Structure formats: structure tokens, C-alpha cells
Amino acid sequence: MDGNSRGIILFADNDAGILEIYQKIFERDLPNYPVEFFSDGNSLKKRLEGLVNGTDRIKIVITDNQMPGVSGREIIAKYSGKKESENIYFILFSVCSNDIAREVEDKYGAKYLPKNVDIDYFMGFIKQTLGEGI
């Protein structure tokens, strides 16, 4: 099974260093999955605007909260749980208040992971979410 049939991961963060580190980590740990990286919320939102009932093969959206343009919380609020994104798992990967973390989990069914989480735990969670095991 090639990466395109497995699904696509979208990763958004305005910190170039975070993007560079996680690009290397994804290439190392999940080489068969295409990952698209975005440096602001507007670019991620534009990518998600074309969704049509799961035909885009996006499996996971990982987003920071505080970014130029649209925030990660706003992305999750707009797309999580909607018909066109019902097969997409949303993760807020950020340093944010407990209120925002609870909101994305309780109200929108997304997962919150703090940026200081252990990388092995983070990648294990992503692999488990993709059905790849740990």
C-alpha cells in the first residue's frame, strides 16, 4: 500500500524550527505517509476548504493554536465533526490554556497534545491513530 492510499497528514505551525524538526521526524518514523506542512493558519484553512466527504484522503490534521491568520482552535471548530471531515482526526499541538485544551477535546472531539510532550509518545500516538500500532 503506498502512502497516498494510506492517507495524508497535515501539520501546521508558524515556528520554522518546529516544522523542520517534525519534517525530519515524520520522514524517519512514517516514511510511507505523505505529510504536508503549513506555516500559518490561513494556508491550512485553504487546504481544508476543498474537502468533499472524505475523498481527499486526509487522515490527521495537527495544528498549533497561535498562528498568523486563523488559529488552530478556529480550524478545529470549523472542520471537526463536519460531514466533509468526518474521517479526519484533529490534534491541537500547542501550548495553550486549559480552557482551550478542554474546549477542543470536549466540544469538538479533537485531541490536545502539549508541545513539550515526549517525541516518542507523540509519534506513538500518531501511529496508533493511523492504525500502525506503536
Instruction: Summarize pLDDT for 46-56 with one digit per residue, the tens.
Output: 999 877 655 57
Instruction: Summarize pLDDT for 64-79 with one digit per residue, the tens.
Output: 999 999 999 999 999 9
Cell of 56: 481527499
Instruction: Summarize pLDDT for 74-109 with one digit per residue, the tens.
Output: 999 999 888 778 889 999 998 777 788 888 888 888
Q: How confident is the model at residue 1 (pLDDT cuts 50, 70, 90)?
A: very low
What global pTM score does this model have?
0.89
Is 15-42+53-130 assigned to CATH 3.40.50.2300?
yes
Instruction: Summarize pLDDT for 15-47 with one digit per residue, the tens.
Output: 999 999 999 999 999 999 999 999 999 999 999
Q: What is the mean pLDDT of the chain?
A: 86
Beta strand extents in 1-134 (DSSP E only): 8-12, 35-38, 58-63, 89-94, 111-114
Closest CA to 25 of 9, 14, 7: 9
pLDDT at residue 11 greater than cutoff 80: yes
